[in-house]
A and B are shown apart, each in its own frame.
Chain A
Amino acid sequence: MTERRVKIKSRVGLHARPAALFVQTAAKAPMEVTVGRDGNDPVNAKSILAVLGLDAHHGEEVTLTAVGDGAEELLNTLEGILTEEEPEHA
């Protein structure tokens, strides 16, 4: 299992366009992907409802996990989405 802690730099947090982009990217991957906030159980990163329900804001840290081939690459992409201040394309 590959794990990564990421500080959210997107101005709107893990909401709105970044959340949509994050979920769309995770959903395309064949393996299981989770995202968790400290103190909460990790949730399915392919679920927009679960991801929005985390209510993760700008400046907060989340933990990403993925299992299997390509996990490292996928987490790089997801980290990129969370660390961009103003993602342009959802």
Chain B
Amino acid sequence: MPDAGPLRGTGVSPGSGYGPVRRMVGTVPEPPPGARHDSDAAAETAAAFAALARVAESLEDLAGRAADDVGRDVLVAQALMARDPELAAGVAARVAAGLAAPRAVWEAFGVHRDALAAADAYLAARVADLDDVRDRAVALLLDVPLPGVPVADEPFVLVARDLAPADTALLDPAVVVAFVTEDGGPTSHTAILARALGVPAVVAVRGATDLPDGTPVLVDGAAGTVRPGPSPAEVRAARVRDRTSRRAAPDPALPGGTRDGRRVPLLANIGGPAGVRADLDAARAHGAEGVGLLRTEFLFLDRAEAPGHDEQVAAYTEVFAAFPEGDVIVRVLDAGADKRLAFLPPPAPEPNPALGERGLRMLRRHPDILTAQLAALAAAAAGRPVGVMAPMVTGADEAAGFAALCRDAGLARPGAMIEVPAAALRARDLARAVEFFSVGTNDLAQYACAADRQSGALARLHDPWQPALLDLVALAAGAGVPCGVCGEGAADPILACVLVGLGVASLSMAPPSIPAVREELAGHTLDRCRAAAAAARAARTAPAARAAARAVLARRDRPV
């Protein structure tokens, strides 16, 4: 095969990874309707039962190794589905009527699938679990690869169209040396997970899923390249580069700030797909000074009812205790859009969930959930001035209403996320109602550029370097209350300097990104950051803004 050069995409998590390609298996094909067996019903039934038993065993094995309770409960229930006697009877009856085992299994699951899907929201959510069990059994019978993340003892490069949270729940970061996806953008689940785990990743790589399993590839998460069949010299050079960049990391004990002493606390985003404990450990290991975004959805997902007061207090107390000195900012439940909760169903089908009742809009419909969460936060804070902010705030009236509820609960530092362009444009009005802002660059880019975060084809539009986005951040940062940034935009060292130049007071990011941001920021004065911000805002396109800022920041300021 001639050397066609590397595949190119968007690098979203730095570092290099070398290993054989293992592809995520997508959908298992539906066995054709009417597919019949060759008349030995007893052998066909035995084959179907053997496949179901193997699926049950593998799910029980996974349940025994699952790190969290919620994941374990789902796997236990799935194993019971594979061992279900009613299901087995349905399979046997269909094989006796002449259907081939894969088709019989498919149809027998279908009966229960329809029954669950017709029930309430909680049961409808179990349909995905049931489909997964069905696909595993059918894959065994058809002798096609099992769906999901491949299991391998040797390190590999995981290649997928895209990764969903369910795919990665049991992912072992020790054996996955890099992620490569065909779809996805800088703020996709893959990108956020990769940064949280410190695994190199490249997304939006056209042709990635055509790479055959076993192809050795070298992934460069900074350059955004995937090179099939690299030479040993290229692999060695990449490893040397990785070691050098790690050595260059500054002392994590130093607080974040500019060369001339403007303090910019570098905080951690907690509560991502890797789990709260893993995030807290990573935050401390990378020298985070506090928590700039505690996502609280982890307490609410995959449950039939909202968590109780004591459970919430215990969870918040654990996070607060992990950073007894630094700042801690909590985001109240951000449900809706892609984060559906069984006990908070949408009022009606939403054709555009990202523009629907999500975040604070959803909580206004369910005030009991919000007041219960605020009461638990107040109890856990025990007088400490933790920041508590609302997601998806649009106007000053919403901000004021949320702030009043916080103060009623005994929380003196209410804040507003700036994710909706309207909120950024009228930031001065919002600033009269709350004590601080936090800009979520991912959603602000999505809404400012009208570009779905999940769309790989639109990756260039959710580029946080869009000059329009920088203008909106400047409005929020200049409105008179402290303004942080907690989107993934804060994790780009050059952009971090620009944000500080725009007036941003603190930066919160996935913990592994903190050392590089700390080092870059420490190399520049506040004036140089302001010059870089002005140069970026003067540009007309995202690539031009990035290039202009880079040019200003190419030189390091000497210590003053």
Task: Show the binding face of A for B, using Cβ within 8 Å.
Answer: 11-13, 15-17, 19-20, 23-24, 27, 43-44, 46-50, 52-53, 55, 90
B397 CB within 8 Å of chain A: no
Q: Tell me whether A48 and B77 are in contact in the complex, defined as CB-CB below 8 angstroms, given that A53-B116, A55-B120, A55-B123 are known contacts.
A: yes
Q: Which residues of A contact B68 (CB under 8 A)?
A: none
With the chains together, A53 CA to B116 CA distance in Å? 6
Q: Is B278 an interface residue (CB 8 A)?
A: no
Q: How far is the CB of B60 from chain A (nearest CB, A)?
A: 11
- Any A CB within 8 A of the CB of B1: no
**Chain A residues whose C-beta falls within 8 Å of the C-beta of B81 in the assembled complex:** 48-49
B25 to chain A, nearest CB (A): 25
- What chain A residues lie within 8 Å of B115 (beta carbons)? 49, 53
Which of B76, B116, B130, B305 has a CB less than 8 Å from the CB of A11? B305
Within 8 A of A (CB), among B60-109: 73, 76-77, 80-81, 83-87
30 contacts between A and B (CB under 8 A): A12-B303, A12-B304, A13-B304, A15-B123, A16-B73, A16-B77, A16-B303, A20-B73, A20-B76, A20-B77, A23-B80, A24-B80, A27-B83, A44-B85, A44-B86, A46-B85, A47-B84, A47-B85, A48-B77, A48-B81, A49-B81, A49-B86, A49-B112, A49-B130, A50-B86, A52-B126, A53-B115, A53-B116, A53-B119, A90-B73
Q: A11-B305, A13-B304, A53-B115 are in contact. Are A19 and B77 (CB under 8 A)?
A: yes
Instruction: Using CB atoms and an 8 Å cutoff, list the residues of chain B in contact with chain A.
Output: 73, 76-77, 80-81, 83-87, 112, 115-116, 119-120, 122-123, 126, 130, 303-305
Known: A44-B85, A44-B86, A52-B126. A20 touches B80 (CB 8 A): yes
User: Which secondary structure dominates where chain B touches chain A?
Assistant: helix
Given contacts A53-B112, A53-B119, A90-B73, contact A47 B87 (CB under 8 A): yes
Chain B residue at smallest Cβ distance from A48: B80
Looking at the assembled complex, report how far the CB atom of A49 sits from the nearest CB atom of chain B, in whole angstroms.
Answer: 4
CB B111 to nearest CB in A, in angstroms, measures 9
- A72–B72 Cα distance when bound, in Å, is 31
Docked CA distance A52–B130 (Å): 12
Residues from chain A with a CB closer than 8 A to the CB of B122 are 15
Name B126's closest neighbour in chain A (CB-CB).
Answer: A52
Closest residue on chain B to residue A53 by CB atoms: B115
Hey, which chain B residues are within 8 Å of A27, CB to CB? 83, 85
Could you say which residues of chain B place their CB within 8 Å of the CB of A46? 85
Interfacial chain B residues near A11, Cβ < 8 Å? 305
Using Cβ atoms and an 8 Å threshold, which residues of chain A touch B84? 47-50
Min distance, Cβ B503 to any Cβ of chain A, angstroms: 47
Please report the C-alpha to C-alpha distance between residue A19 and residue B301 in the assembled complex, in whole angstroms. Answer: 18
Min distance, Cβ A56 to any Cβ of chain B, angstroms: 11
Cα(A17)–Cα(B304), bound, Å: 11
Complex alpha-carbon distance, A43 and B86, angstroms: 10
Q: Knowing that A15-B123, A50-B84 are A-B contacts, what are 4 other residue pairs whose CB atoms are under 8 Å apart, sorted by A's residue number?
A: A20-B76, A27-B83, A48-B77, A90-B76
Q: Which residues of A contact B120 (CB under 8 A)?
A: 55
Instruction: Please name all residues of chain B whose beta carbon is closer than 8 Å to the beta carbon of A20 when the two chains form the complex.
Output: 73, 76-77, 80
**Cβ contact of A16, chosen from B83, B86, B304, cutoff 8 A:** B304
Give the distance in Å from the alpha carbon of A11 to the alpha carbon of B310 in the complex: 15
- Closest beta carbon of chain A to B10's beta carbon, Å: 39
Which residues does chain A contribute within 8 Å of B87, judged by CB atoms?
47, 49
Pick the contact of A15: B85, B86, B112, B304 (CB < 8 A): B304
- Can you list the 10 inter-chain pairs with the closest CB atoms, starting with the nearest? A47-B86, A48-B80, A12-B304, A49-B112, A53-B115, A55-B119, A47-B84, A49-B84, A20-B77, A20-B76
* Chain A residue nearest to B115 in the complex (CB): A53
Distance between Cα atoms of A49 and B84 in the complex (Å): 7
**How far, in angstroms, from A13 to B130 measured CA to CA in the complex?**
20
Q: Please indicate the chain B residues that have their CB under 8 angstroms from the CB of A49 in the complex.
A: 81, 84, 86-87, 112, 115-116, 130
Nearest CB in chain A: distance from B389 CB, A: 29
Shortest CB-to-CB span from B490 to chain A, Å, is: 37
Cβ of B343 to closest chain A Cβ, rounded Å: 10
Bound form: Cα–Cα A16–B86 in Å: 19
What is the CB-to-nearest-CB distance from B68 to chain A, in angstroms, rounded to a whole number? 13
Find the B residue at minimum CB distance from A15: B304
Q: Chain B contacts of A17 at CB under 8 A?
A: 73, 76
A55 contacts across to B, CB distance below 8 A = 119-120, 123
Q: Which residues of B contact A50 (CB under 8 A)?
A: 84, 86
Name the B residues within 8 Å of A43 (CB-CB).
86
